[in-house]
Amino acid sequence: MVKQRIVILYGPPGAGKDTQAERIAHKFNFVIVSSSKLIEERIFNPALQNDSIIQRERKLFEAGRLCTPSWITEIINEKVNQLHQEGKGLIFTGSPRTLYEAENEIPYWESIFGQNNILAIVINIRPETSIFRNSHRRICEKCHNPIIFSKETENLTQCPVCGGKIIDRGVLDAPETIKVRLQEYKNRTEPIFKYLKERGYQLIGIDGEPLPDEVTKQIFKKLEPLIKND
């Protein structure tokens, strides 16, 4: 039985966080908690479109800016508590995203899971790689499987996993939007790394430039000695 742990997976847009989170979750039997998906579940929920808070957050999200930290913190900690009660190990993709969130989430997580059971990984890629990957990114409309751009996948129209229609995300992955997101990551997310180090965490650095399989090998090599069976 694997201990209940939290793995925080960081990286700029296009670093492959969702892809790597899926592989880590499968190997170590963790539950993925994607702040983006939690946000999207709310801001695109037809039943919530008249809510003024949802309208505000949707405008921020679609402009490539970070949503309001206090709102994100509330929905994240609610999910963490739920999964802890269910006895699950968690993996986060890009959350906490701001110093405010980190200061209001990490201590709470530590109180539940214990600091020794929280690990942080940073996947590093160049800005130009981020822009290229995102501007060429497509997903399955049905299962949201990401389609990695290559000569083999360039002309795909159906998802190889479920057969669903492959689409792009429009304005969300436009180069100008990605530039905004990269600046947001630098200004608002990277300061969290200093905060974590000051709390005694050692960030696990990963080179995200190679193909996904090579990145996975790097991650597993560094994670396996740290995640041990009881």
Query: Which domain does 98 fall in, by range?
Result: 6-126+174-223
Domain annotation covers residue 58:
yes
Note the pLDDT tens digit of each residue in 2-42: 578 999 999 998 898 988 999 999 999 999 998 778 888 88
Instruction: Indicate the range of 114-128, 135-149, 196-210 predicted with least confidence.
Output: 135-149
DSSP string, 61-121: HHTTPPPPHHHHHHHHHHHHHHHHHTT-EEEEES-S-SHHHHHHHHHHHHHHH-GGGEEEE
The model carries a pTM of: 0.77
**What value does the mean pLDDT take over residues 78-84?**
92
What pLDDT, on the 0 to 100 scale, is given for residue 129?
86
Asked if the structure places residue 85 within a domain, the reply is yes
Q: Which residue has the tokens 């695109």?
A: 44
Domains: count for the chain: 1
Q: For residue 109, what is the domain's CATH number?
A: 3.40.50.300
The answer to the question of residue 1 being in a domain is no
Could you tell me the pLDDT band of residue 205, with boundaries at 50, 70 and 90? Answer: very high
16, part of any domain: yes
Q: Closest Cα partner for 162 from 193, 139, 182? A: 139
Q: What's residue 2's pLDDT?
A: 56
Q: Is residue 84 part of a domain?
A: yes
CA–CA gap between residue 144 and residue 154 (Å, rounded) = 17
Read off φ and ψ for residue 8, nearest 5 degrees.
-105, 125
Residue 109, pLDDT above cutoff 80: yes
> Do the domain assignments include residue 135?
no
Assigned domain for 164 exists: no
- pLDDT per position as a tens digit, 42-79: 888 888 899 899 999 999 888 878 788 888 898 899 89
Residue 94, domain member (yes or no): yes
Sort strands 138-140 and 146-147 into parallel, antiparallel or unpaired: antiparallel
Distance CA 94, CA 33 (A): 10
3-state secondary structure of 123: strand
